[in-house]
Structure 1
Amino acid sequence: MAKKGKSDEQPSEQEPEPKQVSRLSEGVDETVWRFAKAERASLIIDAQCYFAVMQQAMMKARHRILLIGWDFDTRIHLTEGRRWFEKGRKKEQPSRLGSFIPWLVRHRKTLEIRLLKWSFGIFKFPMRGSMWFDLLRWTPHKRIDFTFDSAHPTGCSHHQKIAVLDDRLAVCGGIDMTDGRWDTREHKEDDERRKSPRGGTYTPWHDATMMVEGEVADMLEDIGRDRWIRAGGKALKPHEKRTDSLWPDELDVQFENVEIGIARTRAEYRDWDAVTEIEQLFLAHIRRAKRFIYAESQYFASRKIAEAMIARLEEEDPPEIVIVHPENADGWLEQQVMDHARAELVRCVREADHKNRFSIWCPYVGETPIYVHAKIMIVDDEVLRVGSANFNNRSMRLDSECDLFIDAARKGNEHAGTVIRGLRWSLLAEHCGVEEDEMPNLLARHGSMAAMIEHVETDSPRRLQRYHPPELNTVQKELARSQALDPEDPDDLLEPFAKGGIFRKGGRLSRMRKKLSRKNGE
C-alpha cells in the first residue's frame, strides 16, 4: 500500500471516550416514529445466539407471541441439541420450530401464537414438504394462527423482522427464523452444524438483531398489530399487562434504562400514507458523523445514501466511512440488480474521496466469503442502529421496514456510548479474526479502522478483504444506472431511467460520473 501524505491521513482512533454531548442533528426527531424506554437491551450477533435465546424467551411467554417476518421455515432447529424427550424423563421442549410451536401452546394454556409472513414466500412451500405437514398439524390449535402478508403495492415486499412477547419483550433486526441463517460468530469455513433442512450445507452467514424489554416492546407491538390486521389477520384481544421480566437467562444485558428510537419504511397503499423515516434518519446520521461511520449492510445501491456520503467526503476533514458488505448478493437476480449498482456507486463515491476515508470490505473465512445479512450502523460510538433496512432503494421507499437505534447524545442515554464503542470493537474483532480485547490497541496503533483492517496480523482464517468494483459491460451498466428493478418509487418498478435513474441531472453522482469519464477519456 502506498504511503499516504499528510492530507491523506485517516482520522485518529485514539480518543479515549465517546463524546457525551447532548446534541442532535437538525431534523433527526422529525425522522423518528417514536421514542420509548427500554429497561434492558442487547445487540444479538449471529443466529446461533438469537435462535437459542429466542426459544428461552418464548418459554416465558404466557399471553401472546407475535412473530412478524419476511420468511419462516418450520423445519429449522432453534437449538443444537435437537432432542424431543427421553423415556422416563420429563419432556423437554423440542428444538424444531414446527414442533416447538404446538408444544408451547399445549403447555401454556393461556398462550396464543400469531405468525405473519410475506405472501411471496408461499411459492417456496413446494420445496418445503414437511412445512405443509406442520401447518396442517397446527390447524386444530385455535391459539395458533399463520397469515400471509400481501398488504403492499405490487413489486414491494414485507421485510420487517419483529417478534413481540406479551407486549413486554421484543426483537427487531435482520434475522428471520428460516433456513440458511444459523451460524456462530466463528463462521467456520466448514461447519457440519450449518445444515439446511434439505440435508445440504450452506456457506457462512453473518446477521444481527436487537432484543429489548420494557415500553419499547409495547411500541413494537403496535407496529406488529397494525401489520397483522391490515394483512387480514384476526383481531388480537387485549391481555393482562406483565411487569415481570421475560429476559432470556443466557443473554447478557448490554444496555439498561435507555431511550430507543423507532423508524419505519412503508410504501403508499390503500389508505396508508407513504412513510420514509428510515431514509431520512440514514441521511441525518450521515450528516451528523464527526469522526466515523461503521456500517454493515446486505446491499449498497441507494442513490441518496451514496450522494449523502459524497457530500461528506468532499469536505476538508471528512469522517471515515467503513462498510462491511457481502462479496456478492444472494441469488442471480439480486446480483444483476444490486451488485452492478454497487459497482457504479462505489466508483463515484471513491472519486469524491480526496482524503481516502471511504472503504468497503467483504468478510472471508479461508477462501470462502461470509454472507453479510446484518443491517447495523454505528456513528462516532454515539449512535447504534440495527434493523431490517439495507442501503438500497427498496428499504428506503418500497418495502415495509423497521429499525431501532440508541443515541448516547440524548439526555438520559449518556451511559450508552461506552457500550456502543465496545460493540463496534466486537464486530471488527469478529471480522478480522482477533481477540476483542486487542481491538482498542490495534485501532490506536493504526489510527483508523481501514488502516487497522489493512495491516492487522492474525493467524485466524477470518479476514476482511477490500472490495474493488469490477468492470461492467454495456448491458450491466445500463441495468445498474436505470434503477428499473430497484426504483425509488413503487410506480417506477420496471420503468427504466425513471426520473433520470442513478445519474439524474444535477445530482452529485452525475457530477462524479462526468469527472470519471473525463479522467478515463470517455
Structure 2
Amino acid sequence: MSEGELTPIVVEGRNCWRIERADKARMIVDACDYFALLKDLMEGARERILLIGWDFDPRIALCPDAEGKGEALGHFLLRLAHERPKRDIDILRWNFGGLKQYLSPAIVAMILRWKVTRAISFRMDSAHPFGCSHHQKVAVFDDHLAVCGGIDVAAQRWDTRDHLDGDARRTGPDGKAYMPWHDSTMILAGAVGGALAELGNERWQRATKKPLREVKGDGENWPEGLEPDFFGVDVAISRTRAEYGGYAEVREIEQLYLDMIAAADRFIYFENQYFTSAKIAAAIAERLDEDDPPEFVMVMPRQADGWLEQMAMDAARVQLVRAVAKARHGNRLCVYVPHTAEGEAIYVHAKTAIVDDRLIRVGSANLNNRSMGLDSECDVTIDAALPANTGVEPTIRRLRESLIAEHLGVEPVAVGRQYEATGSLIDAIEALRGDGRSLERLDLIEPGPFDQYIAEHELLDPESPDAMFENIPERGLRKNWHRGKAWMRRHRPFRRNAG
C-alpha cells in the first residue's frame, strides 16, 4: 500500500454484514424533510411499502400546517390502499412499545380499519429475548430504494433544521407542544436498497412466521428534485442482533464503533442520544492516553427523554465522561448540548458519526450497551477507503460542517474556516460558540446514590440478554471499562491508516 493511502475501516464479516452499491445516496437531517420525503416515496411506490420501526403512530401528520395539523398518517395510508389496492403496505413495529397505543381509542380504531383493508398488514415484532427491543428504523420501497437511520415515524419527532422557539407545528397528536428534536437518516437507491429489503424481509419472517410477497424490485423511483450527496458509492450495512430463535448473536455495530475509534487520526464527530457503553468509553480513553490522539466531539441531549431513561443513562454518562477525562489528553473529549435561540435544549436523537471526514455512519444504534448487544439495530456507512468511494471526502466534510453549523447557528463556511485556521474541531467550535442558538458544554451534574448504583451495575442497560440475569457484583461499568481498554491495547496495529 502506497504512502498516504487509506485502509478501509469497514470489513465485510468483521464489522458489517454486507457492502453493496448505492447508485444514489443522501443524508436527510431532521424529520420535517424526512416525513415530506416519506410521503412522496409512499405515493410513488409501485408494489410495496415496507415500514419497520421501534415506534409508529398513525395519528401524526407527515406535513403539518402552521398549526401543527394535517392529514393523519393512518388516513393517508388508507387513501393509498384504496387508490392502488394491489400495492402492499406492510408495517412492523416493536411489540412492547406498541402496547401503550392500545390505550388510545383513536389508534385502536385506525388499526381496526387497517385490519379490514386488504392492502395493509400491521404486525407487532416480539421476536427477541426478554428485555430486548426491535429498534431498527428502516423503510423500503419496491425492494430497491430504502431509508435507514434514526428517525421513527412517530409522534414528537417532527421538527425543522431551524428548531424555532414556539413553533406551533411542533405539536403532538394530544395537542401539546413538545421539545425541539434533532435527528438524521439516509436514503439509498440501488443494490444496497435490495440488501436492506432482504434485511426487512428476514425481520418480517421472524416476527410473523411468514415471508413477504415477492415483488419485481425493478425500476427507479428516486424522488424528483432531491439532489443526491453521493453517486455510485459502496455502502456497508452493520447490525446488532441478540441470539434468539435459532439466529446467532450479531455485534457488528459494536465492532465498527471500536474499529472507528482505533482508526481515527484527527477526530470523530458523534451525534448520539446516549453514551453509556463502558467498553466504547474505555477505548476512547485508551486513545487519549497516546502522545497525539484524535479529538472526540459528542453532540448529545442535555438529559434523556423519560424518567426511566434518565436513571439508566444520564448517571452512567456522567461517570464515563469523568473517567475518560482522567486520560492524559482527556480534554480532547468534549460533550456539547445544542439549544435554541431562547435557550431551550434541543433533544438529540440522531445516531451519526464522522471519522476524519473519510467515513460517515448513520443508523439506529446508540452508544449504549443495548445497541451493542440487546436490541435489533441497523447502521449504514460510507468509507472513502473503499475503491468505489474515492473522492467522497469533500462531501463528507460538507455534511459535517452543515451539522455543526446547524447547532451553532452559523453558516457552514464559518465552521470550515475555523477548522482550517485552528486544525482542531474543538477549538473551531469553541471559537464559534456564542449567545442565542449555539452549543454549550454538558454540565456533569453529580448523580444521586440511587442513580449511581443503577448506572454502575448497568441494571437498565445490560450488555447482553444473559447479563440481565448475572449476579450484580459480576456486571457493571468497571468490568466493561477494562474490557474496552484491553481490546484497544490488543489492536494498536489497526490504527495505522497510512501504509
State which of 445, 455, 458 in structure 1 corresponds to 2:431. 455
Question: Aligned partners of 1:113 and 1:256: how far apart in 2?
Answer: 29
Question: Aligned partners of 1:20 and 1:200: how far apart in 2?
Answer: 54
Give the 3-state SS of the residue equivalent to 1:356 in structure 2.
Answer: helix
Question: Aligned partners of 2:298 and 2:18: how far apart in 1?
Answer: 27
Change (3 A) 1:82 1:194: closer
1:154 aligns with 2:136: no
Q: Is the 8 A contact 2:467 2:475 kept in 1?
A: no
Deviations 1:119-177 (A, max 9, x none): 01232214432111211222221110000000000100000000000011100000010
1:489 aligns with 2:464: yes
Q: Is the 8 A contact 2:299 2:335 kept in 1?
A: yes
Question: What are the residue-to-residue correspondences of 1:251-400 with 2, within 5 Å?
Answer: 251-354=226-329, 356-365=331-340, 366-400=342-376
Question: Aligned partners of 1:122 and 1:29: how far apart in 2?
Answer: 33
State which of 216, 236, 252 in structure 2 corresponds to 1:240. 216
Q: Which residue of 1 aligns with 2:17?
A: 33
Q: Is the 8 A contact 1:28 1:284 kept in 2?
A: no
Moved more, 410-419 or 132-141: 132-141
Question: Aligned partners of 2:453 and 2:315: how far apart in 1?
Answer: 9
Question: What are the residue-to-residue correspondences of 1:32-71 with 2, within 5 Å?
Answer: 32-71=16-55
Moved more, 263-272 or 488-497: 488-497
Question: What are the residue-to-residue correspondences of 1:49-128 with 2, within 5 Å?
Answer: 49-81=33-65, 95-128=71-104
Give the 3-state SS of the residue equivalent to 2:396 in structure 1.
Answer: helix
Deviations 1:70-118 (A, max 9, x none): 01000001113499xxxxxxxxxx8421011111121124301100010
Question: Aligned partners of 1:492 and 1:506: how far apart in 2?
Answer: 15
Deviations 1:6-52 (A, max 9, x none): xxxxxxxxxxxxx9834124967521100000000001000000000
Deviations 1:292-334 (A, max 9, x none): 0000110000011101101111110100110001000000010
Q: Is the 8 A contact 1:433 1:458 kept in 2?
A: no
Q: Which residue of 2 aligns with 1:8?
A: none
Question: Aligned partners of 1:314 and 1:508: how far apart in 2?
Answer: 16
Q: Is the 8 A contact 2:12 2:18 kept in 1?
A: no
Q: Which residue of 1 aligns with 2:490?
A: none
Q: Is the 8 A contact 1:485 1:494 kept in 2?
A: no
| Paired letter, 1:219 | A
Deviation (angstroms), 1:425: 0.1
Q: Which residue of 2 aligns with 1:441?
A: 417
Q: Which residue of 1 aligns with 2:399?
A: 423
Q: Which residue of 1 aligns with 2:150?
A: 174
Change (3 A) 1:463 1:506: closer
Moved more, 389-398 or 477-486: 477-486
Question: Aligned partners of 1:471 and 1:324: how far apart in 2?
Answer: 20
1:24 aligns with 2:45: no
User: What runs of 5+ residues in structure 1 fail to find an aligned partner?
Assistant: 1-18, 84-93, 512-522
Change (3 A) 1:147 1:506: closer
State which of 352, 359, 384 in structure 2 corresponds to 1:408. 384
Change (3 A) 1:454 1:505: closer
Q: Is the 8 A contact 1:156 1:399 kept in 2?
A: yes
Deviation (angstroms), 1:495: 4.6
| Paired letter, 2:268 | I
Q: Is the 8 A contact 2:279 2:485 kept in 1?
A: no
Change (3 A) 1:436 1:354: closer
Give the 3-state SS of the residue equivalent to 2:101 in structure 1.
Answer: helix
Change (3 A) 1:126 1:105: closer
Question: Aligned partners of 1:172 and 1:261: how far apart in 2?
Answer: 12
Q: Is the 8 A contact 1:446 1:452 kept in 2?
A: yes
State which of 146, 156, 174 in structure 2 corresponds to 1:198. 174
Question: Aligned partners of 1:160 and 1:309: how far apart in 2?
Answer: 26
User: What runs of 5+ residues in structure 2 fail to find an aligned partner?
Assistant: 487-499
Question: Aligned partners of 1:496 and 1:286: how far apart in 2?
Answer: 31
Deviation (angstroms), 1:510: 9.6
Deviation (angstroms), 1:503: 1.0
Q: Is the 8 A contact 1:20 1:409 kept in 2?
A: no
Q: Is the 8 A contact 2:278 2:481 kept in 1?
A: no
Question: Aligned partners of 2:95 and 2:57: how far apart in 1?
Answer: 13
Q: Which residue of 1 aligns with 2:494?
A: none
Q: What TM-score do the two structures reach when normalised by structure 1?
A: 0.88
State which of 123, 128, 141 in structure 2 corresponds to 1:165. 141
Deviation (angstroms), 1:407: 0.3
Change (3 A) 1:217 1:82: farther
Deviations 1:199-238 (A, max 9, x none): 0100100000010000001100111101111101643121
Q: Is the 8 A contact 1:53 1:250 kept in 2?
A: no
Q: What TM-score do the two structures reach when normalised by structure 2?
A: 0.92
Q: Which residue of 2 aligns with 1:7?
A: none
Q: Which residue of 1 aligns with 2:452?
A: 477
Q: Which residue of 1 aligns with 2:497?
A: none
